[in-house]
Amino acid sequence: MDSATKAAATDQAVADATLDGAASAVSGPVLATLRKRADFLRAASARRQGMPGFLLQARRRHQDEAGQAIRVGFTCSKKLGNAVTRNRAKRRLRALARAVMPQTAQPGWDYVLVGRPGVTVERGFAEMRADLDAALARVHGQRGERS
């Protein structure tokens, strides 16, 4: 399978997952996007779970912070490649979050998905979906809350 055919198949899988995730997000908790640098920095200093396709950073918001929505941020550095590659990686991470987070993530938490060079764009969407399920389970596992 050449790279163009592989890319087209991957993009189709992402589009299919986006449609499935959009339908399930309507009935589940509200997903909001992190936009402020301070929110990204707070998430970076909390729990981390590395997976083959991405890094998940997560933190529980304090009671005095507004809302119980699930807030998700996405970041891809220049290590991933040029702008086209970074944008494709972010699109895949957004589709992944829409497909998995409404069912698995917990309200009142901030999550940041960080792309990894090469792998975020090339890894199969089904594998990344399983990775995100596993990462969320580990983040919300039996470990104690960090101060």
CA–CA separation, 118 and 89 (whole Å): 9
Residues 8-20: tens digit of each pLDDT: 454 444 444 443 4
Contact 107, 72 (CB under 8 A): no
Q: Comparing 14 with 79, which gets the higher pLDDT?
A: 79
- Asked whether residue 144 is assigned to any structural domain, the reply reads no
Q: Does 71 have pLDDT greater than 70?
A: yes
Q: Which CATH number goes with the domain that contains 106?
A: 3.30.230.10
- Asked whether residue 73 is assigned to any structural domain, the reply reads yes
- Asked whether residue 41 is assigned to any structural domain, the reply reads yes
Structural domain span for residue 89: 3-139
Per the structure, how many domains does the chain have?
1
Residue linked to tokens 């998905």: 113
What's the predicted TM-score (pTM) here?
0.75
- Asked whether residue 146 is assigned to any structural domain, the reply reads no
